[in-house]
């Protein structure tokens, strides 16, 4: 029987892998289908968070990678942020997700903002937000991020400006799940009793 910590980290990491796949990163079938047993076999009954680090390449541009870090301390401090940013710089990776157990210290938050000015995009999620995969919920319709090219085609076809589209806030849980940036457009496909499917678009603001 796996420990609570092991089970918790298994669930969090599985959600992260699904989230990366949904964002267009290459994730192995082994990780997407992994069960708690194989997780415990690979990482032990008391997994060390530093061993859970993930690095995944973008499907359509293998030179673009993302890191996912699982810092060990409960409240992440400045030193950890600096160490992670240093590792990103060394490996030429400009995007990362930090999965924290509780929170960041005020100084660590400040340090994160400083990283943004150096072109690093570091998102932060709490473990509790990732225990359950929100897009697996029956009420959440399918979301597909449009490329810049697809966005242009859409706006030309409907002769609208992106600001005329309905909006989704950047801090919305779904927008965060897909790592949406301001100005990106997402296609939302809902089942419809009359039309079979009902498609809408939203602009991230």
pLDDT at 1 over 70: no
DSSP 19-31: HHHHTTB---HHH
Q: Which residues, other chains included, contact 172 with Cβ-Cβ below 8 Å and sequence gap of 6+? A: none
What percentage of the chain exceeds 70 in pLDDT? 99
Q: How far apart are CA 94 and CA 68, in angstroms?
A: 12
**What pLDDT was estimated at residue 119?**
86
Q: Which residue has the tokens 């415990």?
A: 40
pLDDT tens column, 26-56:
999 999 999 999 999 999 999 999 999 999 9
Where does the pLDDT of residue 192 fall: very low under 50, low under 70, confident under 90, or very high at 90 and above? confident
DSSP 105-120: -HHHHHHHHHHHHTT-
- DSSP type of residue 158: H
Where does the pLDDT of residue 135 fall: very low under 50, low under 70, confident under 90, or very high at 90 and above? very high
Where does the pLDDT of residue 196 fall: very low under 50, low under 70, confident under 90, or very high at 90 and above? confident
- DSSP type of residue 190: E
């Amino acid at each position: 029987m796996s420990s609570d910590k092991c089970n918790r980290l298994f669930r969090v990491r599985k959600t992260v892998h699904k989230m990366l796949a949904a964002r267009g990163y290459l994730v192995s079938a082994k990780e997407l289908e992994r069960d708690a047993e194989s997780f415990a076999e690979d990482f032990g009954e008391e997994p060390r968070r530093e061993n859970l680090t993930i690095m995944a390449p973008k499907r359509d541009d293998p030179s673009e990678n993302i890191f996912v870090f699982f810092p060990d301390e409960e409240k992440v401090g400045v030193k950890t942020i600096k160490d992670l940013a240093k590792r990103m710089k060394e490996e030429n990776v400009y995007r990362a997700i930090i999965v924290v157990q509780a929170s960041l210290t005020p100084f660590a938050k400040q340090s994160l903002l400083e990283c943004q000015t150096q072109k690093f995009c570091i998102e932060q999620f709490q473990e509790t937000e990732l225990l359950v995969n929100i897009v697996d919920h029956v009420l959440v319709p399918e979301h597909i991020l449009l490329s810049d090219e697809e966005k242009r085609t859409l706006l030309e076809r409907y002769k609208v400006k992106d600001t005329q589209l309905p909006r989704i806030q950047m801090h919305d849980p779904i927008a965060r799940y897909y790592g949406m940036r301001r100005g990106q457009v997402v296609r939302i496909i809902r089942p419809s009793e009359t039309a079979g499917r009902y498609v809408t678009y939203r602009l991230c603001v």
